[in-house]
Amino acid sequence: STVGLLALLSVAMKWAVYDTLIRRLTVGADVSGLPVLNWQLAAGVAVAVTIVLCLWQMRYWDVSVGVALSPLGNVLAGLLVIWAGSFEVDRYFQTEAAAMLRNPDQMMHMAYSLWWAIWALVLLGAGFIWSRRELRYLAICILAVTLAKVFIVDMRGTQAIYRILSFIGLGLLLLGGAFVYTRAFRAKAD
């Protein structure tokens, strides 16, 4: 079971490094398939799901190894899915349809931010539902990176009034998120 897990982790690394990153840097974006409906995304999601299922099953075979590695596997699976989705955003913005947009580069950066924020919220919800601390921490880290990216990359070149409104909106979102996070823990403690 441990050998199978190591083989699965090597497949995950091969997919993440060679099949996506190196392939994109050397060959370019593969726009022959549809965004979201292609082998690259399917392979990444399949590897992520298999890692979670393998570690879940290992908890019954070898409790100490399964329990010890389960948080790491959940984080790795979460990172693989966000990685795969990010390449799908890239794939879409390399198509002819995206080239007709008014500002495709800025739209691509905004799409990355939107995808990352959505995935972080999914991870946060999953972390609350299944009481998985590592998923909640990963979600908070992804949200922090996303927020930094929004204000450093996505907001460059925007007018001052929009930046001010964005900061006000961000403050309200962070206050709302802190409120929900606190209520979830209070409800769990009661």
Same domain, 108 and 84: no
Q: 51-59 — which CB contacts under 8 Å span 24+ positions? A: 51/8, 51/9, 51/12, 51/76, 51/77, 51/80, 52/77, 54/1, 54/4, 54/5, 54/8, 55/5, 57/1, 58/1, 58/5
Same domain, 13 and 93: yes
Same domain, 9 and 88: yes
Same domain, 9 and 83: yes
Answer yes or no: is pLDDT of 190 > 70.
no
pLDDT digits (tens, 9 = 90+) for 45-58: 999 999 888 888 87
Residue at which a domain ends, from 47, 68, 100: 100
Residue at which a domain ends, from 54, 75, 100: 100
Q: What is the pTM of this model?
A: 0.82
76 is written with which tokens? 């790795």
Q: Which phi and psi (to 5°) does residue 37 adopt? A: -110, 75
Same domain, 88 and 159: no
CA pair distance 21, 31, nearest whole angstrom: 15
Q: Count how many domains the chain has.
A: 2
User: In 15-62, which residue ranges form alpha helices assigned H by DSSP?
Assistant: 23-26, 39-61
Same domain, 6 and 91: yes
Q: Which domain holds residue 21?
A: 1-100
Same domain, 127 and 174: yes
Residue 63 has a pLDDT of 65
Same domain, 111 and 74: no
Same domain, 76 and 109: no
Same domain, 96 and 113: no
pLDDT digits (tens, 9 = 90+) for 161-184: 777 877 787 788 778 778 877 877
Same domain, 13 and 87: yes
Same domain, 91 and 168: no
pLDDT digits (tens, 9 = 90+) for 70-129: 888 899 999 999 999 999 999 889 888 878 887 888 888 888 988 998 999 899 889 988
Residue at which a domain ends, from 60, 79, 100: 100
Answer yes or no: is pLDDT of 66 > 70.
no
